[in-house]
Structures are given as structure tokens and as C-alpha cells.
């Protein structure tokens, strides 16, 4: 009697700095600065926040050891802040190509452990469309990571529409990940940018994509939204009643926001709270939730990520979907 193979456990949300990207960033000619702090740590600093670079950000061997320890079979690598979209268009394209080339090489060398999402220079949509096509067709990347705003412009800006149309044509998902919020002046103390600002900006990006009518126009556009949708899980009732109460919400969409959320949106598990996960499960179902860890950032939680899903009071098949089945289907692994 044959037994089914064990389900693949896939971490959709985690981050890596490819060598070529980091070397170019370290040249010091652009938006972000690479420096060493008083503790001897390498820091990437940019407006609104900074990242502490640790081993698994740049060392695949360290990363694979951590994956094995935490029971994760495969990671979907993506860039993280500061990204490329706040540079000049030419430098942004150069950084994106270096990052994507690096991701492509990693996936080719470690096909059983890694897939990756492309970086795009959103400050120039024509560059982005061409690089998206190259990254998917030539490098074999599996989707795109977009930041929650394009150098201060919201993601529903009309000039970005060709990127979404190209993603639909290629049938690849867009992962919306936060960056420094459009307005972060009141968040600059106490590290409130990553604590609250990131989640607010992520949900703002999602709501603008819905209410602008982009998801109505492109019904096959696939969005994955970081950090369990940001603040969306807590606001979905208010969003729905707002649609019914305010005519401004109904200008571009003929159906309630919840229909677009359930049709076009997946979220990851990076909320660090089982109650929030269960509430999101009740709304979206098990087929729209993807395991994520945010590894190896300071605020990541890879050690408990798999266990948190495994302990949910849902059937085993649904746990398997969240732990890897949904990512495998979405990315055609």
C-alpha cells in the first residue's frame, strides 16, 4: 500500500539580500546607507527605519540550518526594505536586476530549498514591466514583491496599471509588503514605523487597490498581503459597513469589498497571534492563508511559526494547506 508523500512546508514571507544587490547598495550612491553601529553590527538605514543585517540575511548556509531546525522545507525569498523604488530610475533598475539575478542563481543552485519573488523599480513602470517579464520568463522567479507605496505614490496610481496587467498575463502573484508609510511623521519615535506604520500602510495599499476598481478591472489579479493583511483583520467589519454607508466607496466597485478580498487576496500568518489567525481563517478560509515567518528580521518568529499553525483547532488537511499546500498551488511548485 502506497502512502502519500509528506506535505511540503513552505515559508512564503522571509527576506534575503543577494550579494550583488548589497554590494551596489554599499557603494553609498543612493537612498539607503550601509553603516556599522556602536555594537559592530552592519545596519542598512533609510528614511523611517533601519535593518540589522544578520547571518541568514546574506548567508544561505546559516539560513538552511535555521530552516531545518524549525521544520521548514522551502522558502520563497524576497528582498526587503530599503528595496529599489526610492532610488533614481536607472539605479533602481540596476539594483532590481542585481537582486533578481542573485535570486535566480540561488534557486538554480538550491531548487529543493528556495524559490523567489522579483524586485521591481516601481518608480519607472516601463522598466518594471520589462524586468517583470525577464524575471519570470528568463530567471524562473515565481512572482513579485511590491512595497506598499511606490516612493510615496499609492499602489492604485494609474501609471502602475501596466505592471498589474503584465502580472495577470504571466499568471503570477504580487506580494504586498510594507515600507516606510506614505505619512510617517508621527511614527518616527519608539520604532512605531515597523510596529504600527508598516501594517497601516499595507492595509491602505490593499484598500486603495479594491476601492479604485483595479480588482474589478483585473479579476484574475492575485495579491498576497503581508502580516495577515496588516490592520485589515480588525477593520473588515468597518470596511464593509463603510461601503454600504458612503457613496464615495461605491464609485468604482459594484460589489462589497469582502467579495474582492475573498476572490483576489491571500494573507500570510505573520501576526504572532493564534486568535487573529483564527479570526482570519473564519473570514477567508484555510485556502487563502500562507505560512510566513518574516525571517530573519528582529521581529521575526520562525521558531514558533509552524507550531502556531499546527496548534490551531482546525482539521489536519486545512493545516497542511496553510503550512504549504496553498503556496505550492499559488506558485505552481
CA 299 vs CA 143, 194, 286, 293, 295: distances in Å: 24, 9, 25, 9, 8
Q: Residues with Cβ < 8 Å from 59, sequence gap 6 or more?
A: none
pLDDT single digits (tens) 277-303: 999 999 999 999 999 999 999 888 899
pLDDT single digits (tens) 90-105: 999 999 999 999 999 9
* Full-model pTM: 0.94
Mean of pLDDT values over 249-276: 96
pLDDT single digits (tens) 244-256: 999 999 999 999 9
| Strand-pair partners of 289 | 267
pLDDT single digits (tens) 114-168: 999 999 999 999 999 999 999 999 999 999 999 999 989 999 999 999 999 999 9
> What gap in Å lies between CA 203 and CA 49, rounded to an integer?
19
> What gap in Å lies between CA 315 and CA 161, rounded to an integer?
39
Structural domains of the chain in order of their starting residue, each with its CATH number:
10-328 (3.20.20.140)
Of the candidates 109, 112, 128, 110, which has an alpha carbon nearest to the alpha carbon of residue 120?
128
Give me Rg for the CA atoms of the chain. Answer: 19
Local structure of 121: helix, strand or coil: coil
Looking at residue 228, its pLDDT comes to 96
CA 108 vs CA 101, 114, 129, 141, 285: distances in Å: 11, 9, 23, 10, 34
Looking at residue 114, its pLDDT comes to 98
Amino acid at each position: 500500500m502506497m502512502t502519500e508523500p509528506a506535505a511540503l512546508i513552505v515559508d512564503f514571507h522571509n527576506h534575503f539580500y543577494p550579494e550583488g544587490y548589497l554590494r551596489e547598495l554599499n557603494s553609498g550612491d543612493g537612498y539607503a546607507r550601509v553603516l556599522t553601529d556602536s555594537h559592530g553590527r552592519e545596519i542598512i538605514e533609510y528614511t523611517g527605519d533601519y535593518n540589522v543585517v544578520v547571518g541568514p540575511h546574506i548567508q544561505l548556509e546559516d539560513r538552511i540550518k535555521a530552516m531545518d531546525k524549525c521544520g521548514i522545507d522551502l522558502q520563497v525569498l524576497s528582498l526587503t526594505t530599503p528595496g529599489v523604488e526610492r532610488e533614481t530610475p536607472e539605479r533602481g533598475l540596476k539594483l532590481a536586476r542585481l537582486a533578481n539575478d542573485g535570486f535566480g542563481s540561488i534557486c538554480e543552485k538550491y531548487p529543493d530549498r528556495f524559490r523567489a519573488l522579483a524586485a521591481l523599480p516601481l518608480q519607472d513602470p516601463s522598466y518594471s514591466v520589462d524586468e517583470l517579464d525577464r524575471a519570470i520568463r528568463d530567471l524562473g522567479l515565481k512572482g513579485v514583491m511590491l512595497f506598499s507605496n511606490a516612493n510615496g505614490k499609492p499602489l492604485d496610481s494609474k501609471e502602475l496599471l501596466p505592471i498589474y496587467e503584465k502580472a495577470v498575463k504571466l499568471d503570477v502573484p504580487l506580494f504586498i509588503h510594507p515600507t516606510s508609510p506614505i505619512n510617517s511623521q508621527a511614527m518616527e519615535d519608539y520604532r512605531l514605523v515597523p510596529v504600527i506604520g508598516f501594517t497601516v500602510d499595507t492595509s491602505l495599499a490593499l484598500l486603495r487597490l479594491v476601492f479604485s476598481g483595479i480588482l474589478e478591472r483585473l479579476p484574475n489579479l492575485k495579491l498576497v498581503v503581508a502580516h495577515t493583511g496588516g490592520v485589515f483583520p480588525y477593520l473588515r467589519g468597518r470596511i464593509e459597513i463603510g461601503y454600504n454607508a458612503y457613496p464615495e466607496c461605491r464609485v468604482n466597485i459594484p460589489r462589497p469589498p469582502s467579495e474582492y478580498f475573498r476572490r483576489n487576496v491571500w494573507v500570510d500568518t505573520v501576526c504572532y497571534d493564534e486568535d487573529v489567525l483564527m479570526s482570519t481563517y473564519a473570514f477567508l478560509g484555510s485556502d487563502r492563508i500562507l505560512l510566513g515567518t518574516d525571517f530573519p528580521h528582529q521581529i521575526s518568529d520562525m521558531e514558533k511559526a509552524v507550531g502556531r499553525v499546527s496548534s490551531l483547532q482546525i482539521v489536519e488537511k486545512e493545516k497542511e494547506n496553510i503550512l504549504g499546500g496553498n503556496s505550492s498551488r499559488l506558485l505552481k511548485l
